[in-house]
């Protein structure tokens, strides 16, 4: 469906190539309640006919044989799965742009086998995989995608120009942004941070978002006497997230599973370090001890160790590293990388492009190792 975290990239891409976007369906009400807004759509796009989605999608695939097709996912929408088979049959080049399947969703053995069979079939026929993080690269690599056909990718959006925000010595403003649901691991965060809140009165934790766990979280905080240290801010419109993050000291994304986690990009754009679990795709953007920390998913102790390391760190230096990361995630930079990948995929370019964020992380690591700043960081996940 139309989404703000892909709209920015599509608009930039439309200035580089002859782009057409096909949406399965319109924006849904649950996404509106999360603060999503209608996309600007300054590019050619259409929404599939809702009563004949598969037929409409297949008609587009057959009629657009002179294009390179990039399919967002394999199993998410029936119409897109059908398009994959049509393109393979008629010999039209196509690529898959996808996350790794959600490992927290319970699936039957038969369903898992079915997914693997489809994945292996696609791996033999797709020209390339634009893998949303190493999680997707590892999963689809195990199904048969050769390394040379896998291009690291993610989710990206335009943000205000990165700027160094003011560090308040008298308080530590730790924020979480996302749905208040079990998958996001808020119970892990609350257990990890509770002793630190008790020992450090300058720490404040803000939970930004709504969801089915809101009432139980509020009840637990009231029972434990933590409502003064933890605030539930509710949902913010997506356009206001950058401004709120710019006032924060640290972003924590403790998810049991997140295909990416766009708020990590937004934190870096605001000059804010990040702690994320190793089951968040966007944790690929973190250099341990430099611009943030990664911890083992569902480990309260690991998360507490990372929080403690942050509190003891040179926070000004970490903010500088976050700001250095941000330009590599800018839409024009990412778009240039995507076009280069497409050229390489189609044999129009000999050298394989490197993800811009990986180049920045290598540079950061060299700088920080030279300065000895990473010597006491928590172990690398």
Which pLDDT value is given to residue 167? 64
Residue 376 has pLDDT above 60, yes or no: no
Residue 284 has pLDDT above 90, yes or no: yes
Q: Which of 67-81, 335-349, 367-381 has the highest mean pLDDT?
A: 335-349
Q: Which residues pair with 20 in a beta bridge?
A: 44
Residue 329 CA, chain-centre distance (Å), reads 11
Separation CA 68–CA 128 (nearest Å): 11
Q: What is the pTM of this model?
A: 0.91
Count of Cβ atoms closer than 10 Å to residue 28 Cβ: 11
Which pLDDT value is given to residue 193? 97
Which pLDDT value is given to residue 301? 98
Which pLDDT value is given to residue 113? 76
Residue 23 has pLDDT above 70, yes or no: yes
pLDDT-derived band at 116, boundaries 50, 70, 90? confident
38-73 confidence digits (pLDDT tens):
777 789 999 999 999 999 999 999 999 999 999 998
Residue 212 has pLDDT above 90, yes or no: yes
Which pLDDT value is given to residue 159? 77
Residue 215 has pLDDT above 90, yes or no: yes
User: What tokens does 52 get?
Assistant: 């004949």
Separation CA 249–CA 272 (nearest Å): 6
Please, where are the H alpha helices in the chain?
4-14, 29-33, 53-63, 78-90, 109-125, 133-142, 186-199, 214-223, 241-245, 263-269, 300-312, 315-325, 331-345, 356-371
User: Mean pLDDT of all residues in the chain?
Assistant: 90
Which pLDDT value is given to residue 75? 76
Domains in the chain (CATH in brackets) are 48-153 (no CATH), 172-325 (3.40.50.2000)
User: What tokens does 223 get?
Assistant: 């029972």
Greatest alpha-carbon span in the chain: 65
Which pLDDT value is given to residue 141? 95
Residue 233 has pLDDT above 70, yes or no: yes
User: What tokens does 193 get?
Assistant: 């941070």
What's the average model confidence in pLDDT over 322-337?
96
Q: Return all residues near 326 (Cβ < 8 A) that are at least 6 apart.
A: 159, 162, 265, 268, 269, 271
């Amino acid at each position: 469906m139309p989404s703000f975290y892909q709209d920015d990239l599509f608009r930039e891409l439309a200035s580089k190539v002859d782009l057409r976007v096909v949406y399965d369906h319109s924006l849904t009400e649950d996404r509106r309640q999360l603060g999503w807004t209608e996309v600007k759509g300054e590019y050619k796009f259409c929404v599939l006919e809702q009563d004949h989605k598969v037929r409409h999608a297949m008609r587009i695939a057959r009629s657009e044989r002179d294009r390179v097709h990039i399919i967002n996912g394999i199993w998410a929408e029936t119409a897109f799965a059908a398009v994959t088979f049509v393109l393979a049959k008629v010999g039209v080049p196509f690529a898959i742009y996808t996350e790794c399947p959600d490992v927290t969703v319970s699936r039957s053995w038969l369903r898992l086998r079915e997914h693997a069979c489809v994945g292996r079939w696609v791996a033999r026929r797709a020209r390339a995989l634009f893998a949303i993080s190493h999680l997707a690269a590892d999963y689809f690599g195990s199904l048969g995608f050769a390394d040379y056909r896998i291009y690291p990718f993610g989710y990206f959006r335009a943000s205000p120009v990165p700027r160094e925000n003011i560090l308040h010595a008298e308080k530590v403003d730790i924020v979480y942004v996302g749905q208040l649901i079990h998958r996001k691991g808020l119970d892990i965060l609350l257990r990890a941070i509770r002793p630190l809140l008790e020992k450090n009165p300058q720490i404040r934790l803000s939970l930004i978002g709504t969801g089915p766990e809101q009432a139980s979280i509020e009840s637990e905080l009231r029972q434990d006497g933590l409502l003064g240290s933890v605030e539930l801010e509710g949902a913010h419109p997506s356009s206001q997230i950058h401004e709120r993050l710019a006032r924060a000291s640290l972003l924590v994304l403790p998810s049991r599973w997140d295909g990416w986690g766009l708020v990590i990009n937004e934190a870096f754009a605001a000059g804010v370090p990040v702690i994320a679990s190793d089951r968040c795709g966007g944790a690929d953007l973190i250099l341990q001890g430099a611009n943030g920390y990664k911890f083992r998913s569902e480990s309260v102790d690991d998360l507490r160790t990372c929080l403690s390391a942050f509190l003891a760190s040179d926070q000004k230096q970490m903010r500088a590293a976050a700001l250095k990361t941000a330009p590599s995630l800018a839409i024009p930079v990412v778009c240039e990388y995507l076009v280069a990948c497409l050229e390489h995929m189609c044999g129009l370019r000999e050298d394989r492009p490197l993800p811009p964020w990986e180049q920045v992380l290598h540079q950061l690591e060299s700088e920080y190792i030279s300065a000895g700043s990473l010597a006491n960081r928590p172990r690398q996940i």
